[in-house]
Amino acid sequence: MSGEQLIYIDGELVPKSEAKISVLDHGLLYGDGVFEGIRCYNGVVFKLKEHIDRLYRSAKVIKLEIPMTKEEIIRAVIETLKANGLKEAYIRLIVTRGIGDLGLDPRKCSRPSVIIIAERLEPILGKIAREKGVKVIVSSVRRDPVYATSHEVKSLNYLNSILAKLEAINANVDDAIMLDSRGYVSEASAANLFIVKDQSLITPPVTAGILPGITRAFVMELARSMNIPVFERDITLVELLTSDEVFLTGTGAEIVPVVMINGIKIGDGVPGKITKLLIEEFDKRKTQPSEGVPII
């Protein structure tokens, strides 16, 4: 396909240069809305149903009524990919509260907008990151607690993550790991976290303020199928720094080894054995039609 990228807005595919929403949209004014980041591998939209289920769960909590059925959204995602001739893609699915007035009251917004942006994209942290691993810091910014703007809701408000990311950029490293409000390990700015200890995987529970990641769930399933024990439990900072391996998971990042935290080497300071095995298995399984919804 040549020509301008087409973006889905409220039932229409419009050229990128004309894809605009109102300055009175509460998604812009207040971060009032929900979203998903999704990938399409070789013509199969990876875990599309799981992403759409999570989108509806997020919307439910903020009383945002998505003006389409799940089936209609699935079809709209597929149509957007087809219109752009994409088989390998990163998809951003956004539902904003819609146009209101300058006040907070969401009831003033008559109709939420559904936006789908699909484009070609390499893993967010890049191929090199995957092979060599990344360096991170532990951010001084704590993850929003579950009793406040919990990241169990994938909302358009990402300032908590952006503050941590800014700290990472200032420290000249790739990303930041955030602690939860109690001081236990939570997750990275836009990825979940795993540690490897004594041949087992450990990942923080939802109560540590994480987004329950779809890649996280898939990695847990992969590990169990490979007879690697998996535990969801709180992780202390000392456990993190002294673990055998650390890696991050997310739609954009896929699986990325962490080789240094706060200037301290993790394990031998190179991507670990179990991390590499999981990356290999992930690559094998991610393109299988059974793991998603094929473009037809």
**191 vs 246 by CB, closer to ligand PXG:** 191
Strands, sheet with 33-41, edge to edge from the N-terminal-most edge strand: 12-15, 6-9, 113-119, 89-96, 33-41, 44-46, 292-294
Report CA 67 to chain centroid distance, whole Å: 23
Q: From the CB of 52, what's the least distance to ligand PXG, in Å?
A: 12
Q: Are 2 and 15 in contact (CB under 8 A)?
A: no
Q: Does 26 bind ligand PXG (CB under 6 A)?
A: no
Out of 113, 139, 215, 275, the residue judged to bind ligand PXG by CB under 6 A? 215
E strand map for 139-273: 175-179, 185-188, 192-197, 200-203, 230-232, 245-250, 254-261, 264-265
Q: Fill in the per-residue mask, 135 to 164: x = in contact with ligand PXG (CB under 6 A), - = not in contact.
A: ----------------x---------x---
In order of 12, 83, 114, the CA distances from 19 in angstroms are 10, 15, 12
Q: Which amino acid is at 196?
A: V
Q: How many residues bind ligand PXG (CB under 6 A)?
A: 18
Q: Site map for ligand PXG, 252-271, x if CB under 6 A?
A: xx------------------
Active site residue 154: yes
CB-CB contact of 271 with 257 (8 Å): yes
Biggest alpha carbon distance in the chain? 56
3-state SS of the chain: helix, strand, coil percent to 5? 30, 30, 40
CA 216 to chain centre: 10
Residue 247 beta carbon to ligand PXG: minimum distance, rounded to whole angstroms: 13
The verdict on 251 binding ligand PXG (CB under 6 A) reads yes
Cβ atoms < 10 Å from Cβ of 232? 15
Nearer to ligand PXG by C-beta: 42 or 149?
149
Stretch touching ligand PXG by CB under 6 A, among 106-114, 249-257, 262-270, 278-286 = 249-257
- Among 154, 197, 273, 284, which one carries the catalytic annotation? 154
Among 89, 118, 196, 211, binds ligand PXG (CB under 6 A): 211
- Give the total residue count for the chain: 296
Site string for ligand PXG, 189-208 (x = CB under 6 A): -xxx----------------
What's the token pair of residue 239?
């456990």
Site membership for ligand PXG, residue 213 (CB under 6 A) = yes
User: CB of 125: closest distance to ligand PXG in angstroms?
Assistant: 9
- Shortest Å distance, C-beta 153 to ligand PXG: 11
Map residues 53-82 to x or -, x wherever contact with ligand PXG holds by CB under 6 A. Answer: ------------------------------
Q: Which residue is nearest to ligand PXG (CB)?
A: 252
Residue 174 binds to ligand PXG (criterion: CB under 6 A): no
187 scored as a contact of ligand PXG (CB under 6 A) = yes
45 lies in the site for ligand PXG, by CB under 6 A: no
Which string of DSSP letters, residue by residue, matches 73-113? Answer: HHHHHHHHHHHTT-SSEEEEEEEE--B--SSS-GGG----E
List the catalytic residues: 154
Point out which residues bind ligand PXG (CB under 6 A). 37, 124, 151, 161, 187, 190-192, 211, 213-216, 249-253
